Amino acid sequence: MSNKMRKAAFTLNKDIANPYDLYNHLPYRVAVASNLLEIDRDAAIKQLTELETREIRVLLNVGSYGPINAADIAYQSRLDPYSVNRAINCLLKLNYIAEVKRVTNQKVKRVALTQSGLTVYQKITTHLEHRTDRLTANLTIKEQSTLLALLEKLELQAEQVLAETASVIEAQGEPITRDQKEVIRWYKRTSS
């Protein structure tokens, strides 16, 4: 549906004063695009693996950035640590990843792909590359580069706003959630 058709099909509510036009609300549009791009909406991914979206994201992080620890996966993917740990446990049971011992800090557990995990990783990344080519077929290389740069700026600004808001709440003596604590930690990590 084109821009004009969408606006014609979804007219603003005339029963209230100043209805908010979600079509022009950037976070809403990014969320809609994100929903359309979610890995688990792709039937081919379901045929490649029995993994849930969370496990796929963790497996991709382990394959792309491993050996890696759970905190770094949570930071890289912006998933909450509890979800990352659950995904790691699932992937360990499936023998797709294994713990890698570290000489310097035994408390920090890092994980890496096993041979069977590498096979799944390669199947997924091959499919994702093909899917990306199809999704970006109408974008030039320059447009793709610009989009990635703009998304990075938006992510960093969103992280800053969320961290600042959580910090204000915490400074007022109000409790903050574990997710808000993670956002503050992530922001401190990227701003230093």
Residue 105, pLDDT > 70, answer no
| Same structural domain, 119 and 172 | no
Mean pLDDT score of the chain: 87
Residues 87 and 172 in one domain: no
Query: Is there a single domain that holds both residue 118 and residue 182?
Result: no
Asked if residue 41 lies in contact with residue 53, where contact means CB atoms within 8 angstroms, the answer is: no
Confidence category of residue 81, pLDDT binned at 50, 70, 90 = confident
Position 76 scores a pLDDT of 85
**What is the percent of the chain where pLDDT is above 70?**
92
Tell me, what's the pLDDT at 90?
Answer: 96
Number of domains in the chain: 2
Contacts for 25 with CB less than 8 Å, ≥ 6 apart: none
User: Do 86 and 150 fall into the same domain?
Assistant: no
* pLDDT on residue 31: 87
Tell me the CA distances in angstroms from 157 to 28, 153, 154, 160, one per residue in order. 16, 6, 5, 5
Can you tell me the mean pLDDT for 42-69?
A: 88
Looking at per-residue pLDDT, the higher value among 159 and 87 belongs to 87
SS3 123: helix
Residues 125 and 144 in one domain: no
93 and 182 inside one domain: no
Q: Is the same domain home to 13 and 101?
A: yes
Query: Could you tell me the CATH number of the domain that includes residue 92?
Result: 1.10.10.10
User: Whole-model pTM?
Assistant: 0.80
The predicted pLDDT at position 104 comes to 66
Last residue of a domain, one of 104, 123, 138: 138
Whether 126 has a pLDDT exceeding 90, the answer reads yes
Question: What burial letters (b/e) apply to 91-121, b meaning 16+ CB within 10 Å?
Answer: beebebbbeeeeeeeeeeebbebbeebbebb
The answer on 76 and 24 residing in a single domain is: yes
CA 119, CA 136: separation in Å to the nearest integer?
Answer: 26
Pairing relationship of beta strands 68-69 and 110-113 according to DSSP bridges: antiparallel
Weakest-pLDDT range from 54-68, 97-111, 120-134: 97-111
68 and 145 in a single domain? The answer is no
Do 38 and 7 sit in the same domain of this protein?
yes
What is the model's pLDDT at position 2? 63
Q: Could you tell me if 134 and 151 lie in one domain?
A: no
CA-based Rg of the chain, rounded to a whole angstrom?
A: 20
Domain end (from 138, 159, 178): 138
- Other CB atoms within 10 Å distance of the CB of residue 32: 13
**Of 79 and 186, which is predicted with more confidence?**
79
Single-letter code of the amino acid located at 180: Q
CA atoms within 13 A of residue 37's CA, in its CB half-sphere: 12
- Residues 13 and 100 occupy one common structural domain: yes
> What range defines the domain where residue 129 resides?
2-138
Predicted confidence (pLDDT) per residue in 138-174, tens digit: 999 999 999 999 999 998 888 888 888 888 888 899 8
**The pLDDT of residue 16 is above 80:** yes
pLDDT score, position 177: 83
From the CB of residue 86, how many other CB atoms can be counted at a distance below 10 Å?
16
Residue 97 has pLDDT above 60, yes or no: yes
